[in-house]
Structure 1
Amino acid sequence: MRRVVQFSTGNVGVHSLPAIIGRPDLELVGVHAASPDKIGRDAADLCGLSEPTGIIATDDIDALIALKPDCVVYTAQGETRPMEVIEQMSKFLSAGINIVATSMVWLVTPRQADDWLRVPLQQACEAGNASLYVNGIDPGYSGDTEVHSALSLVTRARAITVQEIFDYANYDDYEFTGKQMGFGVSAEDDTPMLFLPGVLTTMWGGAVRNLAEQLGVQLDEVRQRIEPWYTDKRIECKMATVEPGQMAAVKFAVEGVRDEVPVITMEHITRLTADSAPGWPYPPDGRPGVHRVVVDGDPRVELNTHVSHPGLDVTEAGCLSTAARVVNAIDWVCRAPAGLIAVEDIPAAEIISGLMW
């Protein structure tokens, strides 16, 4: 039985929390919350469960460390406040507490991470003899597990395209995702944060370079491209209200280039409602979203991953899968040697252990 603390109950944490509570091999011992309206509430109340757990949310990190958990599930948004997150994670790691996280997506490929991020966390792991593992559905699954599966079916690969094609209309995250992607901005407004020079290559470039290294491919450059789409109609949805002339869809990618040709591409096509950007690709079979890998090789291979749930929108189902990517690794991470862990370090069978009871 692994003793676990859930850190945050936002878009991902609201799904990892009930997963922890429900698993017989995990014991929830603490919950961190930053919002005053969540502090002091029972964990069950924070994730929609009816039966109280007796675990009360707190913002006191030292009190959570004093519980001596085996692992922290860290799902708080961290990409806009990385130094604060490094400090928080380092406190747990230095205290000998392992972390599995969906935050700090640069660490999905830890060996590609910049020194300012990697070194202090590695030092904290060594100080506490603890481990840190970061993953999700994208960045994460689509650029590692899914693409590895596709590549295992070819005798030669000439080019690889990894895509997330999703309708974000019902994704309730305008303050972070919506603003970063620029939904609702016009062509005359300031460039959204995600599309500033170098930001995309920082977030997805590690996965491109990591895959190139695994393939033994020497890239000439890793570059980004962005194409916005502006609506001529008013769009009202949960994500945002978009007026005519404002952005309602965006296509962006990070490309690994060899001999002036992209050979590894990680692309996102994100729209608000199905009417946006009608000339761009859609998920197959009328689905609202897909994580797709296409290998131009011998033979050509295409894998399409769809997630769904009877009670959740497809974007929420994606958040549930993001939570699964780290919750399912808790036991192995707790047994792993100290340090920063990549998905390829974990035996595939370990991720499915404990999923049926």
Structure 2
Amino acid sequence: MTYRVIQFSTGNVGQHSLRHIIEHPDLELVGVHASSPAKVGRDAAELCGMSEPTGITATDDLKALLDLGADCVVYTSQGETRGPGALDEITAFLRAGTNVVASSMVWLVNPDAADKWLRDPLEAACLEGGSTMYVNGIDPGFSGDMLPFAALSLCQSATSVLVQEVFDYGSYDDAEFTGVSFGFGLTPEQDPPVMFLPGVLRSIWGGPVAHLAECLGVELDELRERHETWVTPTVIECTMMRVEPGQVAAVRFAVEGIKDGEPVIVMEHVNRLTQAAAPDWPYPPDGRGGVHRVVVTGRPGVEINAHVGSGDLDQNDGGVIATAAKVVNAVAAVCAARPGLVALRDLPIDQVHGLMR
């Protein structure tokens, strides 16, 4: 079966999901949304670095895209920074009967834990249109759901689960969102970035922690946030930005599920700008630039280290390609799923049909 698909946005993730849709034998690209006037009217192939035109040109006309009656929209627009606007766009598709797979609105990786302001209108739109929405990615997403469940399937018992992203973001060209959100380039005296305001970490990673606890039958006493920063003593120059001495060049943060006073489920990030930053913090194994790791303490105890990018492909390029693939590969499963907001647990695991070429 071929599914008619719209790509919504062509940014860091969207350009890769657009290419994936064009190349996928079971998907037919029928529309592309672009908000930038410089992209409107350009062929989809040009927007994702392909040479052969598709005949599908980008538009900023939401109604024209809704009228296509597509099976699914791949929504990769940066929704977290413009929640009400993104919510309006997504609910319009859902009410029209178009399913949504998304890498943004990450609060919905575990929709049961999302706030009502977000969950309620989306559920109502799904009910009205008989449609389905799924949010996932690499982190939050793969590292906190599929990866720990793979490790736990090998265990007779488990006493703790640690999920980590340890990544050098220096080569990631996203100072406007990632850099600002993480506070890279700030001084310790400045106001904290949005990521470290009270409750923000919990809103993003608390849902995955709670989901894992529920699946393990663990009743957590509380969720705790923690974070720390590393300030560089020397200039760091990288693709992300230039960091002056005395400014933040690495962050370490986590959401911890607490039971009897001890952290039993932890989702932690260690993110630095170049390998020179935060030399005393954990690094990926084998000299790699990044790792998504799960460590299960128990019997027998399991550690899985997952790397994206091989050969000459940079780990950050690998990360955005993998994020795009995580949702594009789910299109068929989401189109076949029950209406409503769904999570990984609601979908079949074999979301890989049509990849071999």
TM-score bucket of the superposed structures, by smaller chain: over 0.9
1:59, 1:310 → 2: CA distance? 37
With the length of structure 1 as denominator, give the TM-score of the two structures.
Answer: 0.98
Structure-to-structure mapping, 1:24-63, within 5 angstroms = 24-63=25-64
Is the alpha carbon distance of 1:103 and 1:47 closer, same or farther for their aligned partners in structure 2, counting shifts above 3 Å?
same
Letter in 2 for 1:301: V
Aligned equivalents of 1:89 and 1:310: distance in 2?
37
> What letter corresponds to residue 294 of structure 2 in structure 1?
V
Cα distance in 2, alignment partners of residues 30 and 105 from structure 1: 24
- Which residue type is aligned with residue 83 of structure 1? P
SS at the partner of 1:55?
coil
SS in 1 for 2:209: helix
CA distance, structure 2, for counterparts of residue 159 and residue 146 of structure 1 = 15
Deviation at 1:77, TM superposition (A): 0.6
Separation (CA, whole Å) in 2 of partners of 1:138 and 1:173: 16
Partner of 1:170: 171
Per the alignment, do residues 267 and 348 of structure 1 end up closer, same or farther by CA in structure 2, a change over 3 Å counting?
Answer: same
Gaps of 5+ in 2: none
Which residue does the alignment assign to 2:352? 352
CA offset at residue 353 of structure 1? 1.8
Return the TM-score normalized by structure 2.
Answer: 0.98
1:24 offset after TM fit, Å?
1.2
Three-state SS of the structure 2 residue aligned to 1:133 is strand
Q: Which residue identity is paired with 2:206?
A: G
Alignment of 1:221-240 (within 5 A): 221-240=222-241
1:312 Cα deviation after fit: 3.5
Segments of 4+ moved more than 6 angstroms: none
* Structure 1 equivalent of residue 317 of structure 2: 316
- Change beyond 3 A, Cα 1:265–1:326: same
Please give the alpha-carbon distance, in whole angstroms, between the structure 2 residues aligned to 1:278 and 1:252: 16
**Mapped partners of 2:263, 2:132: distance in 1:** 35
Residue type of the partner of 1:326? V
Identify the range of structure 1 (329-338 vs 244-253) with the bigger mean alpha-carbon deviation.
Answer: 329-338
Residue type matched to 1:355 in 2? L
* Per-residue CA distance 1:101-141 (angstroms, 9 max, x = gap): 00100100011111111110000000000000100000000
In 1, Cα distance between equivalents of 2:208 and 2:44: 34
AA aligned opposite 1:56 = T
Cα separation, 2, equivalents of 1:32 and 1:345: 28
Deviation at 1:14, TM superposition (A): 0.9
Between Structure 1 and Structure 2, how many residues are aligned?
Answer: 356
**Alignment of structure 1 residues 71-110 onto 2, 5 Å:** 71-110=72-111
For the residues of structure 2 that align with 1:145 and 1:118, how far apart are their CA atoms?
Answer: 23
What are the superposed Cα offsets for residues 166-221 of structure 1, whole Å, 9 maximum, x if unpaired? 00001000000000000000011111110011100111001111111111101111
1:195 and 1:96 map into 2 onto residues whose CA distance is 37
Report which stretch shifted further, 321-330 or 308-317: 308-317
Question: Is the alpha carbon distance of 1:8 and 1:309 closer, same or farther for their aligned partners in structure 2, counting shifts above 3 Å?
Answer: farther
Residue of structure 2 in register with 1:68 after alignment: 69
Letter in 2 for 1:68: G
Give the Cα separation in 2 of the matches to 1:276 and 1:311. Answer: 22
Question: How many Å apart are 1:66 and its aligned residue?
Answer: 1.0
SS of the residue corresponding to residue 171 of structure 1 reads coil
Q: Give the SS at the match of 2:112.
A: helix
> Is the partner of 2:100 in helix, strand or coil?
strand
Q: Which amino acid aligns with 1:291?
A: H
Ranges in structure 1 where 5+ consecutive residues have no aligned partner: none
The Cα offsets for residues 219-238 of structure 1, whole Å up to 9 and x where unpaired, read as: 11101100100000001111
Structure 1 segment 323-338 matched on structure 2, within 5 A: 323-338=324-339
Shift of 1:343: 0.4
Corresponding residue SS for 1:277? coil
